[in-house]
């Protein structure tokens, strides 16, 4: 294992509830109910894809022009950004800072592979931006998760072969993307939902260097 690529939401910090609140707010604005169950479908996918799902749910897909859709997505992001302004290093999920420092000490490369365009801003709020060797810009990719593009690009930016990387994700779409990129996948959350992953842990505090290294070894042995 030479590099680890992390998703952001639900892995490094939990901004998922901020996203949910912001989408719920936008839903009210346009007359679509966004509840917690529906919000599960929005995890791990891009802002524009999330908006399309919400419009589809309300049979509003053809009601808005592309320009109006972009404006709606921007409105949602403005609400979300106001919320994340308040973030501090206390918002890091358990064990993540220790893991990042351990990976650094062992001279592994670290990358961010998140569909969130707010990634760099959030990492700076959490005071861990300097621990990342690269951040993939999701706006430059042809396809979002579950396509492997973001993880392949992350490995490329780190100059490490995908097969020598481990990806860490909490969403089904994200785990699928890691697998499609030919990387060992570590899932955080429900083992049944994330069954495609090489290894699943229920919570972030169980993510350690030995666990990631062993997962990579197991993946190589399977392959």
Binding-site positions for substrate read 7-9, 23, 42-47, 50, 76, 114-118, 145
DSSP class of residue 189? S
CATH of the domain at 31: 1.10.150.240
Q: Is the pLDDT of residue 44 over 80?
A: no
Percent of the chain having pLDDT more than 70?
A: 100
Last residue of one domain, picked from the residues 30, 64, 84: 84
Question: 105 and 210 share a domain?
Answer: yes
Please tell me whether residues 45 and 140 are part of one structural domain.
Answer: no
If asked whether residues 75 and 144 sit together in one domain, one would say no
Is there a single domain that holds both residue 204 and residue 152? yes
Q: What are the residues whose beta carbons fall under 8 Å from the beta carbon of 83, sequence distance 6 or more? A: 18, 21, 22
Q: Two tokens at 120?
A: 């760099």
Same domain? For 128 and 51 the reply is no
Same domain, 72 and 98: no
Please tell me the distance from the alpha carbon of residue 175 to that of residue 186, in angstroms, as a whole number: 8
141 has a pLDDT exceeding 90: yes
In the predicted structure, residue 223 carries a pLDDT above the cut 90: no
Q: Does 95 lie in the same domain as 67?
A: no
Full domain range(s) for residue 195:
3-14+90-222
Highest averaged pLDDT of the listed ranges 38-42, 66-70, 114-118? 66-70
How far is Cα 58 from Cα 47, in angstroms, rounded to an integer? 17
Domain boundary among 84, 118, 142: 84
Structure tokens at 157: 């930016």
Q: With beta carbons less than 8 A apart as the criterion, state whether 150 and 141 touch.
A: yes
For the chain, the average pLDDT equals 96
| pLDDT tens digit sequence for 75-117 | 999 999 999 999 999 999 999 999 999 999 999 999 999 998 8
Under the banding of pLDDT at 50, 70 and 90, the label for residue 7 is: very high
| pLDDT score of 204 more than 80 | yes
Q: Residue 15 pLDDT more than 90?
A: no
Confidence of residue 16 (pLDDT cuts 50, 70, 90): confident
- Residues 35-48 have a mean pLDDT of 89
Percentage of the chain beyond pLDDT 90 is: 91
The total of structural domains in the chain comes to: 2
d(CA 217, CA 89): 32
- Distance of alpha carbon 110 from alpha carbon 107, whole angstroms: 9
Q: Count other C-beta atoms under 10 Å from residue 81's C-beta.
A: 14
Q: What is the CATH number of the domain that holds 189?
A: 3.40.50.1000
Active site residues: 7, 9
Binding residues for Mg(2+): 7, 9, 169-170
**Same domain, yes or no, for 114 and 133?**
yes
Which residues does 111 contact at the CB level (< 8 Å), separation at least 6?
Answer: 3, 4, 5, 6, 132, 133, 134, 135, 136, 154, 155, 157, 158
pLDDT of residue 43: 82
Q: How many CB atoms lie within 10 A of CB 222?
A: 8
Shared-domain flag, residues 200 and 101: yes
pLDDT at residue 127 greater than cutoff 80: yes
């Amino acid at each position: 294992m030479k590099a680890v690529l992390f998703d952001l939401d639900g892995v490094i910090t939990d901004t998922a509830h901020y996203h949910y609140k912001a989408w719920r707010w936008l839903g009210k604005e346009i007359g679509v109910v966004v509840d917690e169950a529906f919000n599960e479908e929005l995890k791990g996918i891009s802002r524009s894809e999330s908006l399309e799902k919400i419009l589809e749910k309300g049979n509003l897909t053809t009601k808005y022009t592309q320009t109006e859709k972009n404006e709606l997505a921007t409105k949602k992001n403005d609400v979300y950004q106001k919320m994340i302004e308040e973030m501090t290093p206390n918002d890091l999920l358990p064990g993540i800072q220790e893991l990042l420092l351990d990976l650094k000490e062992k001279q592994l490369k670290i990358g961010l592979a998140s569909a969130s365009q707010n990634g760099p801003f959030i990492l700076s709020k959490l005071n861990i931006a300097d621990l990342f060797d690269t951040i993939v810009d999701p706006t430059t990719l042809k396809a979002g998760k579950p396509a492997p593009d973001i993880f392949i690009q992350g490995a490329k930016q780190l100059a490490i072969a995908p097969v020598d990387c481990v990806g860490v994700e909490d969403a089904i779409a994200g785990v699928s993307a890691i697998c499609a990129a030919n990387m060992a996948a570590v899932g955080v959350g429900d083992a049944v939902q994330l069954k495609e992953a090489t290894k699943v842990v229920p919570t972030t505090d169980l993510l350690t260097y030995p666990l990631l290294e062993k997962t990579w070894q197991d993946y190589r042995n399977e392959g």
